[in-house]
Amino acid sequence: MTAPEQSATEAGYPPEPWDLRGHGYVSLWLVPTRELPPLPAGLRPVSTFGRTVVATAFVDYLPGGLLAYHELLVAPLVREGARPGLSITDIWVDSAASMAGGRELWGIPKDMAEFEMAHEPSFDATARLGKTVVASAHGTRGRRGLRLPFPLLGRASQALRGRLAHTPLRAGGRVHTARATWEVDGPLAWLRPYEPFLTVAATDFTLRFGPRRR
């Protein structure tokens, strides 16, 4: 039997945990629960008055972390029993190693896309599938950010080889208030009728993803 670390190396992605760093913009939306994509068996949306909080994010993972790549993700707030978390329903990257590792290690359904991203003087990001712009975002952030005095903790819950897998994450960095406008299309057209109610920017953040709880 091949050890997991050997399998990961042969597949072209590093073993967990992944220690990453970069910049990210996260927007929160209130979406009718009935509009959400299907969730893994065993998870339920966290719903209030028929609506669920959905997070969208553009992330620029920088050199100095385990991998450097761009990412666009969508993750509704979910629960297993009474315990809350996130489940990533849609996600694209521009790194084959990230795509393979996300799928094999944690059940994250990563696909490939083309990205354009700039941080100064304002934030602009675009993710394309061929000629389709899946999402674009334009935003500005407040000059003064608050460095978190303790790491944020959470977990991602995904379907992995017929079971529900939970992967802890720990993130820290400087958080800024921000404003952003989004345009979505293609597989994210279900978000088009809505607008984010809150956006934050994280600069020079660190993220540890994994190891998965077995």
Percent of the chain at pLDDT exceeding 70: 93
Helix (H, G, I), strand (E, B) or coil at 76: strand
Instruction: Name residues whose C-beta falls within 8 Å of residue 206's C-beta, 6 or more positions apart in sequence.
Output: 19, 20, 21, 65, 171, 172, 173
Tokens standing for residue 30: 């209130």
- Is the per-residue pLDDT at 165 higher than 70? yes
Helix (H, G, I), strand (E, B) or coil at 120: coil
CB burial string 80-103: b at 16+ within 10 A, e below: beeeebbbbbbbbbbbebbbebbb
Domain residue ranges in the chain: 18-209
Decide if 60 contacts 119 (C-beta within 8 A): yes
Indicate the average pLDDT of the chain. Answer: 92
pTM: 0.92
For residues 117-133, give the mean pLDDT.
Answer: 94
According to the model, what pLDDT value does residue 120 have?
A: 86
Q: Would you place residue 123 in the very low, low, confident or very high pLDDT band (cuts 50, 70, 90)?
A: very high
Domain 18-209 carries which CATH code?
2.40.400.10
- Is the per-residue pLDDT at 110 higher than 70? yes
- Is the per-residue pLDDT at 6 higher than 70? no
Our measurement of the distance from residue 49's CA atom to the centroid of its chain's CA atoms, rounded to an integer in Å, reads: 25
- Is the per-residue pLDDT at 2 higher than 80? no
Q: Would you place residue 11 in the very low, low, confident or very high pLDDT band (cuts 50, 70, 90)?
A: low
According to the model, what pLDDT value does residue 150 have?
A: 67
- Is the per-residue pLDDT at 135 higher than 80? yes
According to the model, what pLDDT value does residue 8 have?
A: 47
Q: Is the peptide bond before 17 cis (omega within 30 degrees of 0)?
A: yes
Decide if 55 contacts 86 (C-beta within 8 A): yes
In this structure, are strands 152-160 and 90-93 parallel, antiparallel, or unpaired?
unpaired
Q: Mind listing the pLDDT tens digit for each residue in 71-103?
A: 999 999 999 998 999 999 999 999 999 999 999
Alpha carbon of 144 to those of 103, 112, 147, 199, 201: distances in Å?
A: 37, 34, 10, 15, 11
- Is the per-residue pLDDT at 25 higher than 50? yes
Higher confidence at residue 99 or residue 11? 99
Higher confidence at residue 152 or residue 185? 185
Bridge partner residues of 203 (DSSP): 174
- Is the per-residue pLDDT at 161 higher than 80? yes
Bridge partner residues of 10 (DSSP): none
